Amino acid sequence: NKQILLKSYPEGEPTAADFEIVETAVPTPGDGEILVKTIYMSLDPYMRGRMSQAKSYSASAQIGDPMMGGGVGVVEQSNNPKFGVGNYVMSYPGWQQYSLTDGTGVMKLDPGLAPISTAVGVLGMPGLTAYFGLLKIGQPKEGETVVVAAASGAVGSVVGQVARIKGARAVGIAGSADKCAFVVEELGFDACINYKDADFAEQLAAACPDGIDVYFENVGGKVFDTVMPLLNDFARIPLCGLISQYNATSLPTGTNFLPALMRDMLTKRMTLRGFIISDHYEHLADFLRDMGGWIASGQLKYREDIVEGIENAPEAFIGLLKGANFGKLLVRVSDD
Ligand code: NDP
């Protein structure tokens, strides 16, 4: 059983030395337990927060434990009447080839309905995050302008497409010309701007001639500073993620925009609301119905970035925190 353990809490950007690959015996399921063979491991930005002892909404990972995370796999042995050998499941195996579970929080998957990998992507946690954050907090109206950063990624790609389905204009922000071309040409956003371009602020303003009504925040930092002056009266800001800050070891120096933001929040009567999707799984059934329909009708597309082999997970995860992925990042651990 190949496992990837957390070896040390990174200072700043994680490095390969913060992980350790070990091989242990395949575990045997006890009473009520099942043995799951991982097929795809999901790599997600939140895992950086777990690799830290800073206080947060969830407990830190322990040194020497396998890295935690969701995945999809197949039941290889079962002592639990709810699961049969050969069932495909979405579970929380962590970064390892085999895992045991008593079935709590495990979802059975029908590979005839959708590719199993989507259960940790467009039809799973990132998709639900986009759906809940945009529709419940952002509440886009027809003709409004919705802007989302990390627009080619698991969450952002869904945000813009759902905004368009609801009749809004969707403007993406992404980190390369290739990603922007994909966001416009394949996903159908109205525009996408590369935040690394020198004239990013001018390009964003030109793409949002009527200002911004919903800014779905995935990244923070300089991107938010550029978005801020374009926000309209009564703008809504679902605060989903701040990936540009996840490796930071201190607060940024330079101009402090907080007083300007506070003034704008007041005078423009804006709403900024942070959310963590694990608090909102009561929307899962609505989400699966809507998203399943949009995918089936071709209105909503998704892209996966699949890295081969569990031993390549640390490098892929390090890359995720600086934009090396292009689409929902998965690791193929074994064949299905
Ligand atoms: P993505 O698939 O979008 O991958 C992350 C992307 O973030 C990268 O590809 C990169 O895209 C972008 N990025 C990385 N570093 C920076 C940077 N310094 N500045 C700007 N962009 C950067 O990941 P997800 O869709 O899974 O996650 C997107 C966001 O949503 C994250 O912030 C994540 O933490 C958050 N999230 C929050 C949840 C919640 O419950 N609140 C649940 C799930 C996700 P590019 O090349 O375009 O810069």
Is there a domain that residue 299 lies in?
no
Residue 295 domain-assigned (yes or no): no
Residue 76 domain flag = yes
CB within 6 Å of ligand 1 — which residues? Answer: 44-46, 126, 129, 150, 152-156, 174-176, 179, 218-219, 221, 223, 240-241, 243-244, 275-277, 320-323, 325, 328-329
Residue nearest to atom 2 of ligand 1 (CA): 153
- Token pair, residue 239, equals 């605060």
- Is the separation of the CB atoms in 246 and 220 below 8 Å? no
Residue 297 lies in a domain: no
CA neighbor of 67 nearest in space, from 8, 7, 5: 5
Residues 250 and 314 in one domain: no
Q: Are strands 145-149 and 212-216 parallel, antiparallel or unpaired?
A: parallel
Whole-number Å distance, alpha carbon 53 to ligand 1 midpoint, is 21
- Residue 310: inside a domain, yes or no? yes
Q: For the segment 97-154, what is each residue's pLDDT rounded down to a tens digit?
A: 999 999 999 999 999 999 999 999 999 999 999 999 999 999 999 999 999 999 999 9
Question: Which region holds residue 292: left if phi is over 0, alpha if psi is between -120 and 50, else beta?
Answer: alpha
The reply to whether 10 and 47 lie within a common domain is yes
If asked whether residues 144 and 71 sit together in one domain, one would say: no
Say how many C-beta atoms besides its own lie within 10 A of residue 169's C-beta: 23
Total domains in the chain come to 2
Give the containing element (helix H, strand E) for 213. Answer: strand 212-216
Q: Based on the domain organization, do 168 and 186 belong to the same domain? A: yes
- Are 133 and 24 found together in one domain? no
Considering the domain architecture, whether residues 132 and 29 belong to the same structural domain is answered as no
Ligand 1 site-directed mutation target among 47, 162, 218, most atoms within 8 Å of CB: 218
CATH of the domain at 52: 3.90.180.10
Are 171 and 114 in the same domain? Answer: no
Instruction: Give the SS3 label for residue 193.
Output: strand
Query: 158 and 25: one domain?
Result: no
Q: Which residues contact 244 (CB under 8 A, 6 or more apart)?
A: 219, 220, 221, 222, 223
Helix (H, G, I), strand (E, B), or coil: what is residue 94? coil
**292 lies in a domain?**
no
Burial class (CB in 10 A: 0-12, 13-18, 19+), 166: middle
In this structure, are 108 and 141 located in the same domain?
Answer: no
**CA 109 to ligand 1 centroid distance, Å:** 26
Is residue 285, in this structure, part of any structural domain at all? no
Do residues 164 and 269 share a domain?
yes
Asked if residue 308 and residue 251 are part of one domain, the reply reads no
Provide CB contacts within 8 A for 40, sequence distance 6+: 71, 72, 73, 116, 117, 120, 306, 330, 331, 332, 333
Ligand 1 center–CA 149 separation, angstroms: 8
Under 8 Å between Cβ of 38 and 333: yes
pLDDT digits (tens, 9 = 90+) for 238-267: 999 999 999 999 988 888 889 999 999 999
Per-residue pLDDT of the chain (336 residues; tens, 9 = 90+): 999 999 999 999 999 999 999 999 999 999 999 999 999 999 999 999 999 988 888 888 999 999 999 999 999 999 999 999 999 999 999 999 999 999 999 999 999 999 999 999 999 999 999 999 999 999 999 999 999 999 999 999 999 999 999 999 999 999 999 999 999 999 999 999 999 999 999 999 999 999 999 999 999 999 999 999 999 999 999 999 999 999 999 988 888 889 999 999 999 999 999 999 999 999 999 999 999 999 999 999 999 999 999 999 999 999 999 999 999 999 999 987
Q: Do 57 and 129 reside in the same domain of the chain?
A: no
Does 79 reside within a domain?
yes
CATH number, domain at 274? 3.40.50.720
- The residue segments making up the domain with residue 312 are 2-120+304-332
Q: Scan for tokens 């099942």, then name that residue.
A: 34
Among 278, 295, 317, the domain-final residue is 278
pLDDT score, position 255? 87
